[in-house]
Chain A
Amino acid sequence: DIQMTQSPSSLSASVGDRVTITCRASQSFNNYLNWYQQKPGKAPKVLIYAASALQSGVPSRFSGSGSGTDFTLTISSLQPEDFATYYCQQSYVAPRTFGQGTKVEVK
């Protein structure tokens, strides 16, 4: 199975900050890497697919990059509605594993 490791597990930030979350895979794969946002009590929502493609309707302040085993989600200017937990997921092979999550909290 491919293990996905996110860092950090949590971070504190202010509105307007640039935020970066990283995701490392235990083995290399092509860009079947997705990022999700989840707010308390809600289902997750996909933000980025194919490592860097913006899902329809997602604000352009979200971006993804990376390849091989190392991937990054960046929020260019954090907005109040962006305080949430973020997960990476590989969809290259089953089981389609998730990272453990990164909680973005108010500083």
Chain B
Amino acid sequence: EVQLVESGGGLVQPGGSLSLSCAASGFTFSSSWMSWVRQAPGRGLEWVANIKQDGREKYYVDSVKGRFTISRDNAKNSLYLQMNSLRGEDTAVYYCAREGEPGGWRQLDYWGQGTLVTVSS
């Protein structure tokens, strides 16, 4: 059974930092692109970043470029999101998700349960 379990969310002050983790199991983690998607309270889904299987390609939405860093450790079957210079508008539930089977259509076919990040003083 595929499982994605996020952790690391919490309350942080504006300008602060937070690191999210996503533990993957039930599939060959090292063969999959992985993504982070967020959802602000009462709002829609926003794709944040993704990372290639070997970690050598990374892409970000403009609003987080230079502040967030996506990374992975294939030996630990783990995905990470380092978030710096946090702003109120970064308040959201953060989901990690798998980008489908390699060579496929890149749909997000498995999702974690999400972890809440609240940026507030």
Residues of chain A touching chain B, judged by Cβ–Cβ distance below 8 Å, are 1, 31-32, 34, 36, 38, 43-46, 49-50, 53, 55, 85, 87, 89, 91, 94-101
Given A44-B108, A94-B60: 16 more A-B contacts, CB < 8 Å: A32-B105, A34-B107, A34-B108, A43-B111, A43-B112, A43-B114, A46-B107, A49-B107, A49-B109, A53-B105, A87-B45, A91-B107, A94-B50, A95-B59, A96-B50, A96-B106
Question: Which residue from B60, B95, B99 sits with its C-beta under 8 Å from A95?
Answer: B60
Would you call A44 and B111 a contact (CB within 8 A)?
A: yes
Q: Which of B38-73 contact A (CB under 8 A)?
A: 44-47, 50, 59-62
- How would you classify the secondary structure of chain B's contact residues: helix, strand, loop or mixed? loop
Q: 8 tightest CB-CB pairs across the interface, nearest first?
A: A94-B59, A91-B106, A49-B107, A43-B111, A34-B107, A101-B44, A50-B105, A98-B45
Size bin of chain B's contact surface:
20 to 34
Determine whether B100 belongs to the interface, using a CB cutoff of 8 Å to chain A.
yes
Question: Which residue from A34, A36, A45, A99 sits with its C-beta under 8 Å from B105?
Answer: A34
Would you call B95 and A43 a contact (CB within 8 A)?
A: yes
Would you call A89 and B108 a contact (CB within 8 A)?
A: yes
Cα of A97 to Cα of B95 in the assembled complex, Å: 15
Residues from chain A with Cβ under 8 Å of B37 in the complex: 44, 98
Cα of A91 to Cα of B59 in the assembled complex, Å: 13
Cα of A99 to Cα of B99 in the assembled complex, Å: 18
Q: Which of B14-35 contact A (CB under 8 A)?
A: 35
Would you call B100 and A49 a contact (CB within 8 A)?
A: yes
Residues from chain B with Cβ under 8 Å of A94 in the complex: 50, 59-60
Q: With CB as the reference atom, state the residue of chain B lying closest to A98.
A: B45
Would you call A96 and B111 a contact (CB within 8 A)?
A: no
Cα of A94 to Cα of B37 in the assembled complex, Å: 13
